């Protein structure tokens, strides 16, 4: 064996049963939800005909399902890497999955049997005012399902909090505050710990707020005298929803922090800029939520302006710390471009690129003519599909990698390009329609909007085929994924003899 | 007519340009990923200098944009543009119901400021005004228990549509009303 100074000798850990179970659950649900998404797009494109009620039922399932599995998949990445540093409970990992599956059954029952279609955002008072389209029981079952899922995640994050505090003493230390605000002795916790701490803080708060409004609305369903203020409810729902969906990306990006340094044999250090950006993101991801209420003129104006401003500032860490950091690592690194490297690299592009139309939409005067148009699904599908989900697929390829010098097949490479172009085309069809004022969440579109829908549906087919291939690949490599072996520890050009 | 959709155009073009710039950065690095420099430290130093420059570039371009776009917010009374006379605004009460709009008046004169007092009788709706080209020109949420005041001056005659812009259930997409704007 030739040895070089920077070679890691320990093999990369394989995935625990729980992590594999999370990924399999996520993959199965993602595929189904993607097909639901395609059906919605086909309906808008007038290529199939299902009618409004089935459309909105699919929309409700797609939203809840995708957000839920984004959390599950992100948690799998976080858990897998975080357990290198802290002692996490496998029991809790499974408990969360069990609660998740229970919640999924409740939601499916509510929507498929109870006809609930009040959207995953369950905006008060819609679940309780359906004009007889669904029953109070169906609405209650849906919200209780979300509550059960939320409780599962809360347990998981509390366990992460316990483990992090057990090892590092406090959140402040785990976020590297001694090094951030004092002398940087180079001993700040690794990026994985910093990111996990951030996610834990924001998600615990977000989930408690989400659970509170769900509980309040459940009471209100049966005891209408228990009144809820609609603006307060909306603020709480979007606080929870925004934090939760963003946290999924902040969890998934841990895979990039861990894997890219192995591929490039360059360290991703928690230096002052890194620590500052994560502390800033911790605050910003929580205080940005008023940008969902910019068209609620009754909301306190200073908070709306705060949403506008934080929307601009929030992109700086994404762009100049994480995105730029990855570029630094890769530049002249001699990285081996296998599927893992490609997907992780493109995922940071997807995240950063999606942030552009997002912060622009957070500009109040733009939001005035673009809020609740297809512009919004346009930007969030960019960072969820080409960002978050690409991170997950990259992680799957990494786990399933047979050996560090294994090469990918032709179909893998084709799938990569199909996924990238398919996703870009798909999101651009949304963004362009948004520019053309096409409203989001419309089961039926005007004739002049239909061409964008048809283009979007075609690109969706392309990207779904690619995603299907990624997942089949992972399913075929489950035993490899569980094994401890060297996946990417050798720098390119150093031949293991 | 085009003037009304300037925001959408700017948002679209700016997004495309920014996304393309990000893509260029990633493509540049992907193309230059080979030919490993073993010594990372000097590279890091140069990259950090470039990042600082980029940071200030971003601050200088987007800082003023962020502040400039806070002038003339839709929340301000001055937002009804083209106030060319001293007449008080025409007040229209707009209430969203499952699944129709109730408007106290639907006839509007061009150039005359209009104040929509928007609310809802049941769930959340979105009051979106579409012009004769079916482009969105203004919107506000219709929330039960709140009255949101939307000010707008219609400069062009024609039939405008009110479309619902907050998901409100099964018939949400068909919750449409019309406004007739006539020249004075
Ligand atoms: C092939 C992939 C996908 C397709 C074809 C697709 C399609 C769609 C469509 C057609 C809508 C409704 C748009 C409208 O408002 O008219 C939608 C909404 C949505 N999608 Fe996707 N999507 C895909 C992937 C994803 C992924 C990966 C996620 C998240 C991880 C996601 C999350 C959502 C959410 C949260 C909504 C909002 C639902 C709502 O408005 O209530 N989608 N998607
Ligand atoms: Cu509606």
Give yes or no: residues B95 and B60 share one domain: no
Radius of gyration over every alpha carbon of chain B, rounded to an integer in angstroms = 24
With CB atoms and an 8 Å threshold, state whether B11 touches A117: no
**Residue with CA closest to ligand 1 atom 24:** A34
* Beta carbons of B22 and A309 less than 8 Å apart: no
Helix (H) or strand (E) holding A336: none
Query: How far is the C-alpha of A476 from the C-alpha of A124, rounded, in Å?
Result: 44
| Residue at B79 is within a domain | no
Mean pLDDT to the nearest integer, A191-216:
97
- Is A120's C-beta closer than 6 angstroms to any atom of ligand 1? yes
Q: What residues have their beta carbon closer than 5 A to ion ligand 2?
A: B 125, 164, 168, 172
pLDDT < 50: residue spans in chain B: 1-2, 83
Number of domains in chain B: 2
Q: Mind giving me the DSSP string for A447-459?
A: GGGHHHHHHHHHH
**Cα distances (Å, whole numbers) of residue A363 to B6, B66, B73:** 14, 7, 10
User: Tokens 């006539």 sit at which residue?
Assistant: B182
Find the ligand nearest to A244 CA: 1
The whole-angstrom separation of Cα B184 and Cα B181 is 9
- Whether residue A492 has pLDDT greater than 60: no
Q: What is the DSSP string of A368-390?
A: HHHTTBTHHHHHHHIIIIIIIIH
Task: Give B79→chain A minimum CA distance, Å.
Answer: 11
Does the pLDDT value for residue A5 go beyond 70? no
Provide the H-helix boundaries in A300-409.
Answer: 301-316, 324-330, 339-361, 364-370, 375-381, 390-400
Which CATH number characterizes residue B115's domain? Answer: 2.60.40.420
CB of A325 within 8 A of CB of A401? no
Sheet containing B113-120: give its strands across: B100-103, B90-97, B113-120, B148-153
**Is B147–A133 a contact, with Cβ atoms under 8 angstroms apart?**
no
**The dihedral sign for the CA sequence A400, A30, A324, A280:** negative
A6 falls within a domain: no
Residue nearest to atom 20 of ligand 1 (CA): A63
- State the pLDDT at residue B85: 54
The CATH number assigned to the domain holding A165 equals 1.20.210.10
B58 contacts on A by Cβ (under 8 Å): 316, 319-320
Q: Tell me, yes or no, whether B20 lies in a domain.
A: yes
Q: Which domain holds residue A403?
A: 16-496
Position with higher pLDDT, A450 vs A11: A450
Is position B119 within any domain? Answer: yes
Show Cβ contacts of residue B18 under 8 Å, excluding neighbours closer than 6 positions: A356
B44 and B98 fall within a common domain: no
- Could A492 and B36 be called an inter-chain contact, meaning their C-beta atoms sit closer than 8 Å? yes
Q: Do B35 and A332 touch (CB under 8 A)?
A: yes
Strand partners, B161: B130, B178
Same domain, B58 and B93: no
> Which residue CA neighbors atom 16 of ligand 1 most closely?
A441
- Does ligand 1 come within 6 angstroms of the Cβ of A440? yes
Q: Which of A37, A57, A358 to mutate to test the pocket of ligand 1 (most atoms within 8 A of CB)?
A: A37
The ligand with the least distance to the CA atom of B126 is 2
Q: What is the number of CB-based contacts under 8 A between chain A and chain B?
A: 222
Give residue A489's pLDDT: 67
- Looking at every residue in chain A, the average pLDDT score rounds to 93
User: Any bridge partners for residue B159, and if so which?
Assistant: B180
Instruction: Check whether residue B65 and residue B90 sit in a common domain.
Output: no
Say if CB A344 and CB A391 are below 8 A apart: yes
Residue A484 pLDDT = 87
Tell me, what's the pLDDT at B115?
94
Q: How far, in Å, are A55, A384, A488 from residue B160 at the CA level? A: 27, 35, 60
Asked if the structure places residue B77 within a domain, the reply is no
List all residues 6 or more positions away from A54 whose beta carbon is below 8 Å from its beta carbon: none
| Domain match, B11 and B58 both | yes
Give the span between the Cα atoms of B54 and B75, in whole angstroms: 34
Does some domain include residue B60?
A: yes
Q: What is the pTM of this model?
A: 0.94
Q: How far apart are CA A179 and CA B7, in angstroms?
A: 44
B178 shares its domain with B106: yes
> Of A125, A328, A373, which has the smallest distance from its Cβ to B123's Cβ?
A125
Q: Is residue B38 part of a domain?
A: yes
- Residues B56 and B89 occupy one common structural domain: no
Chain A residues with CB-CB distance to B130 below 8 A: 437
pLDDT-derived band at A148 (thresholds 50, 70, 90) equals very high
ipTM above 0.85, yes or no: yes
What length is written for chain B?
Answer: 184
Tell me if A11 is assigned to some domain. Answer: no
Protein residue whose Cα sits closest to atom 21 of ligand 1: A37
Q: How far apart are CA B96 and CA A296, in angstroms?
A: 15
Residue B94 and residue B123 in one domain: yes
Residue A386 in domain:
yes
With pLDDT > 90 as the criterion, what percentage of chain A qualifies? 86
Looking at the DSSP assignment, which residues form a beta bridge with residue B116?
A: B92, B150
**What domain count does chain A have?**
1
A117: Cβ below 6 Å to ligand 1?
A: no
Q: How far is CA A420 from CA A349, A375, A423, A461, B22, in A?
A: 10, 19, 5, 13, 15
Beta bridge partners of B141: B126
> Would you call B30 and A330 a contact, using CB atoms and an 8 Å cutoff?
yes
Torsion over CA: A388, A258, A267, A163 (sign): positive
Quick one: pLDDT at residue A495? 41
Pocket lining: A490 vs ligand 1, CB cutoff 6 Å: no
Contacts of residue A443, defined as CB under 8 A and 6 or more positions apart, other chains included, come to: A43, A44, A51, A52, A55, A56, B172, B173
Sort out which chain B residues have CB atoms less than 8 A from A295's CB and list them: 126, 139-141
| Domain end call among B13, B44, B70 | B70
Residues B170 and B90 in one domain: yes
Element (H, E) at B69: none
Q: State how far the Cα of B120 lies from the Cα of B122, in Å rounded to an integer.
A: 6
Flag whether A49 is in a domain: yes
Q: What is the pLDDT confidence band of residue A2, given thresholds at 50, 70 and 90?
A: very low
CA dist., res. A390 & res. A396, Å (int): 10
Q: Do B166 and A373 touch (CB under 8 A)?
A: no
Q: What would the pLDDT profile of A73-128 be if each residue is shown by its tens digit?
A: 999 999 999 999 999 999 999 999 999 999 999 999 999 999 999 999 999 999 99
Q: Would you say A475 and A438 are in contact if contact means Cβ atoms under 8 Å apart?
A: no
Beta strand pairing call for B125-130 and B136-142:
antiparallel
Q: How far apart are alpha carbons A228 and A151 in whole angstroms?
A: 22
Q: Please give the average per-residue pLDDT across A40-47, as a whole number.
A: 97
Question: Which of B44, B70, B96 is the last residue in one of the domains?
Answer: B70
What's residue B78's pLDDT? 63
**B107 vs chain A: nearest CA distance in angstroms?**
23
Q: Ligand 2 mean position to A369 CA, how many Å?
A: 16
Residue span of the structural domain in which B100 resides:
85-182
Say yes or no to pLDDT of A480 above 70: yes
| Mean pLDDT value of segment A239-251 | 96
Residue A317 banded pLDDT, cuts 50, 70, 90: confident
Does any domain span residue A255?
Answer: yes
- For residues B30 and B105, membership in a common domain is answered with no
B99 is a domain residue: yes
Task: Collect all residues of chain A within an 8 Å Cβ-Cβ radius of residue B165.
Answer: 371-373, 439
């Amino acid at each position: 064996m030739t040895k070089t100074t920077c070679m890691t000798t320990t093999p990369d850990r394989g995935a625990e049963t729980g992590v594999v179970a999370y990924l399999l659950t996520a993959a199965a649900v993602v595929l189904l939800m993607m097909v639901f998404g395609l059906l919605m797009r086909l309906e808008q494109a007038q290529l199939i005909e299902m009618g409004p009620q089935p459309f909105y039922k699919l929309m409700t399932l797609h939203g809840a399902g995708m957000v839920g599995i984004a959390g599950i998949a992100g948690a799998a990445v976080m858990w897998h890497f975080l357990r290198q540093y802290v002692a996490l409970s496998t029991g809790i990992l499974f408990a969360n999955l069990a609660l998740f599956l229970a919640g999924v059954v409740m939601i499916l029952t509510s929507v498929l049997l109870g006809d609930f279609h009040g959207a995953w955002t369950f905006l008060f008072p819609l679940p309780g005012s359906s004009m007889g389209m669904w029953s109070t029981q169906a609405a209650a079952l849906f919200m209780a399902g979300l509550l059960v899922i939320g409780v599962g995640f809360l347990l998981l994050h509390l366990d992460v909090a316990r483990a992090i505090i057990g090892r590092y003493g406090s959140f402040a230390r785990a976020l590297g505050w001694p090094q951030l605000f004092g002398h940087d002795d180079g001993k700040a916790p690794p990026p994985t710990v910093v990111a996990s701490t951030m996610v834990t803080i924001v998600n615990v708060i977000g989930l408690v707020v989400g659970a509170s409004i769900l509980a309040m609305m459940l009471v209100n369903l049966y005891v209408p005298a228990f009144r809820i203020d609609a603006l307060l409810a909306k603020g709480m729902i979007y606080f929870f929803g925004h934090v939760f969906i963003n946290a999924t990306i902040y969890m998934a990006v841990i895979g990039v922090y861990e894997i890219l340094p192995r591929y490039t044999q360059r360290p991703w250090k928690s230096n002052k800029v890194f620590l500052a950006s994560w502390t800033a993101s911790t605050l910003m991801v929580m205080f940005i939520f008023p940008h969902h209420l910019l068209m609620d003129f009754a909301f306190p104006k200073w908070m709306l302006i705060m949403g506008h401003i934080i929307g601009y500032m929030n992109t700086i860490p994404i762009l100049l710390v994480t995105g730029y950091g990855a570029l630094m690592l890769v530049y002249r690194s001699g990285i081996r471009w296998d599927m893992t490297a490609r997907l992780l690299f493109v995922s940071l592009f997807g995240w950063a690129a999606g942030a552009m139309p997002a912060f622009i939409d957070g500009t109040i005067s733009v939001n005035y003519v673009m809020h609740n148009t297809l512009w919004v699904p346009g930007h969030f599908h960019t960072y969820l599909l080409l960002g978050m989900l690409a991170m997950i697929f990259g992680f799957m390829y990494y786990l399933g990698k047979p050996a560090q010098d294994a090469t990918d097949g032709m179909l893998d490479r084709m799938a990569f390009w199909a996924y990238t172009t398919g996703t870009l085309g798909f999101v651009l069809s949304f963004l362009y329609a948004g520019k053309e004022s096409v409203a989001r969440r419309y089961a039926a579109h005007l004739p002049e909007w239909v061409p964008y829908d048809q283009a979007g549906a075609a690109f969706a087919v392309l990207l779904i085929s690619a995603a299907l291939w990624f997942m089949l690949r992972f399913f075929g490599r489950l035993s490899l994924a569980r094994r401890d072996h060297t996946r990417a520890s050798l720098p390119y050009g150093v031949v293991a003899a | 007519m085009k003037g009304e959709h300037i925001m959408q155009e700017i948002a679209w073009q700016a997004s495309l340009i920014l996304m393309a710039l990000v893509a260029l950065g990633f493509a540049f690095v992907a193309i230059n990923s080979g030919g490993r420099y073993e010594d990372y430290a000097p590279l890091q130093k140069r990259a950090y200098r470039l990042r600082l420059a980029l940071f200030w570039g971003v601050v200088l371009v987007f800082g003023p944009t962020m502040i400039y776009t806070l002038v003339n917010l839709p929340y301000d009374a001055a937002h009804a543009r083209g106030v060319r006379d001293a007449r008080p605004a025409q007040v229209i009460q707009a209430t969203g119901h499952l699944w129709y709009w109730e408007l106290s008046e639907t006839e509007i004169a061009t150039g005359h400021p209009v104040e929509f007092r928007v609310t809802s009788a049941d769930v959340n709706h979105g009051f979106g005004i579409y012009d004769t080209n079916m482009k969105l020109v203004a919107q506000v949420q219709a929330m039960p228990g709140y009255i949101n005041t939307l000010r707008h001056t219609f400069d062009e005659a024609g039939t405008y549509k009110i479309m619902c812009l907050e998901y409100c259930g099964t018939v949400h997409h068909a919750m449409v009303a019309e406004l007739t704007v006539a020249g004075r």
